A and B are shown apart, each in its own frame.
Chain A
Amino acid sequence: MTNDKLVELFAEGLEVDAGVLTPDTRIADVEEWNSIGWLTIMSMVDEQLGVQIESSAIRGFLTVQDVVDYLSAKTSLAS
């Protein structure tokens, strides 16, 4: 999955309009990216990419790009 597709997936999970999320967007600035938002994204990523986001990593994510980088590393390891 490309980086753009990942960001689209996040937007779909959070139910925010396309364009609200960019790689530089700070997670803390997205109201919908709360506990339920994280649970949704974790489930969708698990189901669609077969990758688990370790909850212990979540506090280290500041921007959308951080999550993309994390998942890219995980998916390349998995493939």
Chain B
Amino acid sequence: MRNPLDLSGKRVIVTGASSGIGRATAVVLGQLGAELVLVARRQDALEETLGMLEGTGHVAACYDLTEVDGIPAWLKGVAAARGVPFDGVVHAAGLSTAIPIRILNRSRMEDLMVLNVYASLALVRGMAAKGVGADAASLVLVSSVSGLAGALGHSVYSASKGALHAMVRSAAKELAPRRMRINCVAPAWVQGPIMDVVQDIQGDGFAKVAERQFLGAISPEDVATSAAYLLSDATRTISGTTLVIDGGWTC
């Protein structure tokens, strides 16, 4: 029986694999048969994720993605060590700090832009290099509905995620000659520590979010499954798009 979502034999990099959406993505991709390179800063957390994965051949590769200029060469080295190019990447690492306008400064803006935008672009460059990304590889960037709709304190975060939505459209055209694809997944409020903070501050549990996110809370696994879909051959003609996973938030 053919399964268009099967990822057996596909070699995929997952950034931010130490927690949250990145970790959930690693678990889901492992279940679908992918062979993974897990990336984050902390080796111990990556080891923990490795212990959660089905399948074999997965490895951890510690790297600090704020070292943007080093990303392409580092990626090349990881591919060389494996001896085969990658079929995909899911870039789940990112910062989601809320910064009220009244305390904006360059340093705070840079923190978000470096990891959310510059590191994404450097990963694209790295994957586009011959021998690193395979022909027809799929690149998936985890963005946010904050790039599509506003949220209090999110001006910088929105700018960083909206930049990704714009970026994938151009990158899709440039990568197309090798049938490489690039897309975003844009979740709304995902269960986890960030949502906990918002709910604590607002003091109303899920009520305020639920007014707009009427299909309920989004789990990291929901985002992971959408990323898996975009990695799969089922989406071989989909590129330059943003898949919104928002439970109705932007309706």
- Within 8 Å by CB of A39, from B100, B196, B203, lies B100
- Within 8 Å by CB of A40, from B102, B197, B198, lies B102
Q: Verify if B152 is at the interface (C-beta below 8 Å from A).
A: yes
Rounded to whole Å, the gap between the CB of A69 and the closest CB of chain B is 18
For residue A15, which residues in chain B have a CB less than 8 angstroms away from its CB?
102
Rounded to whole Å, the gap between the CB of B231 and the closest CB of chain A is 34
- Within 8 Å by CB of B100, from A36, A56, A58, A59, lies A36
B100 with A43: CB separation less than 8 A: yes
Rounded to whole Å, the gap between the CB of B45 and the closest CB of chain A is 19
B103 with A44: CB separation less than 8 A: yes
A36 with B200: CB separation less than 8 A: no
The answer for the CA separation of A66 and B55 in the assembled complex, in Å, is 51
A24-79 CB contacts (< 8 Å) to partner B: 35-36, 38-40, 43-44, 55-56, 58-59
For residue A44, which residues in chain B have a CB less than 8 angstroms away from its CB?
103
A40 with B201: CB separation less than 8 A: no
B153 with A39: CB separation less than 8 A: yes
Q: Verify if B202 is at the interface (C-beta below 8 Å from A).
A: yes
Rounded to whole Å, the gap between the CB of A66 and the closest CB of chain B is 15
The answer for the CA separation of A43 and B98 in the assembled complex, in Å, is 9
A6-27 CB contacts (< 8 Å) to partner B: 13, 15
Q: Which residue of A lies closest to B108 (CB)?
A: A43
Q: Which residue of A lies closest to B105 (CB)?
A: A47
Q: Which residue of B lies closest to A37 (CB)?
A: B100
- Within 8 Å by CB of A55, from B100, B102, B200, lies B200
Rounded to whole Å, the gap between the CB of A79 and the closest CB of chain B is 24
Rounded to whole Å, the gap between the CB of A25 and the closest CB of chain B is 18
A39 with B200: CB separation less than 8 A: no
B153 with A35: CB separation less than 8 A: yes
Q: Verify if B99 is at the interface (C-beta below 8 Å from A).
A: yes
The answer for the CA separation of A39 and B98 in the assembled complex, in Å, is 7
Interface membership of chain B positions 82-103, coded 1 if the CB is closer than 8 angstroms to chain A and 0 otherwise: 0000000000000000111011
A58-B201 CB under 8 A given contacts A35-B152, A36-B153, A39-B98: yes
B residues bordering A, Cβ < 8 Å?
A: 98-100, 102-103, 108, 152-153, 196-198, 200-203
Listed A/B pairs (13) with beta-carbon separation below 8 Å: A35-B152, A35-B201, A36-B100, A38-B201, A39-B152, A39-B153, A40-B103, A43-B99, A55-B197, A55-B200, A56-B200, A58-B203, A59-B200
Given A36-B100, A55-B196, A56-B196, 12 extra CB contacts under 8 A:
A13-B102, A35-B152, A35-B153, A39-B100, A39-B152, A39-B153, A39-B201, A40-B100, A43-B100, A43-B108, A55-B200, A58-B201
